[in-house]
Amino acid sequence: MAKNGDPVLRLTGLNKSFGAVHVLHDVNFSLQLGQVMALVGDNGAGKSTLIKCIAGIHPIDSGQIEFDGRPVTIDGPRAASDLGIEVVYQDLALADNLDIAQNMFLGRERRKGIVLDEQSMEEAARETLARLSVRTVKSVRQQVASLSGGQRQTVAIAKAALWESKVVILDEPTAALGVAQTRQVLDLVRRLADTGHAVVLISHNMNDVFEVADRITALYLGQVAADVSTDEVSHGQVVELITAGRSGDLGLAPQVAAESI
Ligand SMILES: Nc1ncnc2c1ncn2[C@@H]1O[C@H](COP(=O)(O)OP(=O)(O)O)[C@@H](O)[C@H]1O
Ligand SMILES: [Mg+2]
């Protein structure tokens, strides 16, 4: 079992192409329990492709994946969730006509004999929200259709945390939110890490990244330009890593950054 501080997931030398298009080049990426890793990069840099490789949606062409220190193959979404890897995609995939507890157990319902064990699911949903100090939803029996954008995001994140997951990947969780709801979701992201998860935060928003991330991995045209501690870099440097692949001493060698253009 990994403890806080050990890498729970480590990708080494990962390559991924779609046909003739080489999207990810020798990517190294590692995650630690208790930490938020921001994954940043311009549109088309390969962020979604990278998380889909981790989530078992895309097979990788080459490279190694270690989970809890052991080599693994992630050959489908089921294999990813069995390891404890959960992804919250931007569309959230919540069912409006169901309540919060039903959504958190959607597709993985608990049963008592042949009937659904509503009581146990309701309790587990409530406990998970309490563990994450969520105070923005009143009842787990509330219909998801009645929730605000921030509350929906909260439910989707809590759902990902419910399954004894170790790695929770969030794709732009604050992109559609106003200031107050962004604040609540960022607090929740921090608490996810503080309760022992390894969190990946994909974000374009430097304020969000600097507020909540412990480390930053910058992708530039499918290559890792930098994997740095948040307190070692400035906003401006991260923007340069995203747009040019390098910033001062950080990032890809000048010829590599130039050749990729
Ligand atoms: N299923 C696919 N088939 C072909 N090309 C793809 C596919 N998915 C992504 N790509 C290409 O891979 C590159 C990286 O895309 P993506 O991972 O979506 O980047 P990001 O999420 O950082 O914006 C882009 O050039 C994109 O066109
Ligand atoms: Mg994307």
Digit-coded pLDDT (tens) for 14-59: 999 999 999 999 999 999 999 999 999 999 999 999 999 999 999 9
Token pair, residue 235, equals 């906003």
- Structure confidence by residue, pLDDT tens digits, 128-172: 999 888 888 889 999 999 999 999 999 999 999 987 899 999 999
Q: Judge whether 198 lies within some domain.
A: yes
Residue written as token pair 């009937």: 115
Token pair, residue 103, equals 């959504």
- Cα separation, 89 vs 95, whole angstroms: 14
Question: Would you report the helix, strand and coil content of the chain in percent, each value rounded to 5?
Answer: 35, 30, 35
Q: How many CB atoms lie within 10 A of CB 213?
A: 24
- Ligand 1 atom nearest to 41, measured from its CA: 22
Closest CA to 205 of 174, 234, 246: 174
> What is the total count of domains within the chain?
1
CATH number of the domain to which 132 belongs? 3.40.50.300
- Cα separation, 209 vs 223, whole angstroms: 20
Q: Judge whether 190 lies within some domain.
A: yes
Q: Judge whether 1 lies within some domain.
A: no
> Which of 16, 22, 23, 202 to probe ligand 1 with, by most ligand atoms within 8 A of CB?
23
Q: Judge whether 53 lies within some domain.
A: yes
Domain of 242 in residue numbering reads as 7-259
Cβ–ligand 1 distance for 23 under 6 Å, the answer yes
Calculate how far, in angstroms, residue 54's C-alpha sits from the geometric centre of ligand 2.
14
pTM, rounded to two decimals:
0.92
- Band (107; pLDDT cuts 50, 70, 90): confident
pLDDT over 80 (residue 245): yes
- Band (91; pLDDT cuts 50, 70, 90): confident
Q: What is the pLDDT of residue 5?
A: 61
Closest CA to 74 of 14, 145, 121, 142: 14
Which alpha helices (DSSP H) does 132-164 contain, by range?
149-162
Q: Judge whether 135 lies within some domain.
A: yes
- Band (253; pLDDT cuts 50, 70, 90): confident
Q: How many CB atoms lie within 10 A of CB 227?
A: 13
Q: What is the pLDDT of residue 257?
A: 62
Q: Judge whether 2 lies within some domain.
A: no
Calculate how far, in angstroms, residue 77's C-alpha sits from the geometric centre of ligand 1.
19
Residues with CB under 5 A from ligand 2 (ion): 47-48
DSSP string for 156-192:
HHHHHHHT--SEEEEESTTTT--HHHHHHHHHHHHHH
Please state, rounded to an integer, the average pLDDT across all residues of the chain. Answer: 92
